[in-house]
């Protein structure tokens, strides 16, 4: 049970109605490409947050990893925290309904230009393995982006 869906209307950013859904580029692609809903210029040593207006639904024993494309990496553009780790309870959270965002950082020497519809990263699903002797956590997610342990 994995799917991508638009976030609820009240959580849409940029006054857009229909986001472009992530998709795999080839039959053997591991990742789903995510696309920018807006034009953005990221100057050297600066960051930009791009909300996709998309949420991901998947099983509790799975995760979604977000990263930039290899093409972005050759220009020195990366996620500000290296990779994004998305848990299943991020879907539908009260803070932003699970809106997936890419906070991009430009380590390059030139401005990095993103146009509406350009790829801004990839996401791939992984299976989560848990320790047999762990003490299960009891905390429940209370917010959206960056909310764990707050």
Segment 89-128, tens digit of pLDDT: 999 999 999 999 999 999 999 999 999 999 999 999 999 9
Instruction: Flag whether 64 is in a domain.
Output: yes
Half-sphere exposure of 76 (CA within 13 A, CB side): 13
Query: What's residue 128's pLDDT?
Result: 94
pLDDT over 70 at 150, yes or no: no
Query: What's residue 148's pLDDT?
Result: 53
Instruction: Flag whether 149 is in a domain.
Output: no
* Residue 42: other Cβ atoms inside 10 A: 19
Query: What's residue 144's pLDDT?
Result: 58
Query: What's residue 138's pLDDT?
Result: 78
| 43: three-class secondary structure by DSSP | coil
- SS3 of the chain: helix, strand, coil, percent, to 5: 5, 35, 60
Burial 62-79 (b: 16+ CB within 10 A, else e): bbbebbbbeebeebebbb
Q: Which two tokens stand for residue 23?
A: 């998709």
Q: Domain tally for the chain?
A: 1
Query: What's residue 145's pLDDT?
Result: 53
Share the mean pLDDT of the chain: 92
Range of the domain at 120: 3-127
Q: How is 62-125 classified by DSSP, letter by letter? A: EEEEEE--HHHHTTTEEETTSSEEEEGGGTT-TTTTT--EEEEEE-SSS-EEE-TT-EEEEEEE
How wide is the angle at C-alpha 34 spanned by C-alphas 107 and 9, nearest 5°?
A: 115
Contact 121, 79 (CB under 8 A): yes
Q: What tens digit of pLDDT does each residue of 68-82 get?
A: 999 999 999 999 999
Q: Which of the 8 DSSP states describes residue 45?
A: T
Q: What tens digit of pLDDT does each residue of 14-64 get?
A: 977 789 999 999 999 999 999 999 999 999 999 999 999 999 999 999 999
We report the CATH number of the domain holding residue 101 as 2.70.40.10
Query: What's residue 146's pLDDT?
Result: 59
pLDDT over 90 at 66, yes or no: yes
pLDDT over 70 at 141, yes or no: no
Q: How far apart are CA 79 and CA 135, in angstroms?
A: 32
């Amino acid at each position: 049970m994995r799917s991508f869906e638009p976030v609820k209307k009240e959580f849409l950013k940029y006054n857009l109605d229909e986001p472009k859904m992530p998709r795999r580029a080839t039959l053997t692609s591991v990742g789903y490409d995510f696309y920018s809903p807006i034009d953005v210029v990221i100057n050297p040593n600066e960051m930009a947050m791009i909300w996709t207006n998309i949420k991901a639904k998947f099983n509790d024993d799975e995760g979604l990893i977000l990263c930039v494309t290899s093409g972005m990496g050759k220009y020195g553009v990366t996620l500000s925290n290296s990779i994004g780790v998305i848990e299943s309870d991020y879907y539908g959270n009260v803070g932003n309904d699970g809106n997936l965002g890419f906070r991009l950082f430009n380590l390059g020497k030139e401005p990095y230009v993103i146009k509406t519809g350009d790829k801004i990263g990839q996401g791939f699903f992984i299976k989560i393995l848990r320790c047999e002797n762990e003490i299960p956590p009891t905390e429940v997610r209370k917010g959206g982006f960056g909310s764990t342990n707050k």
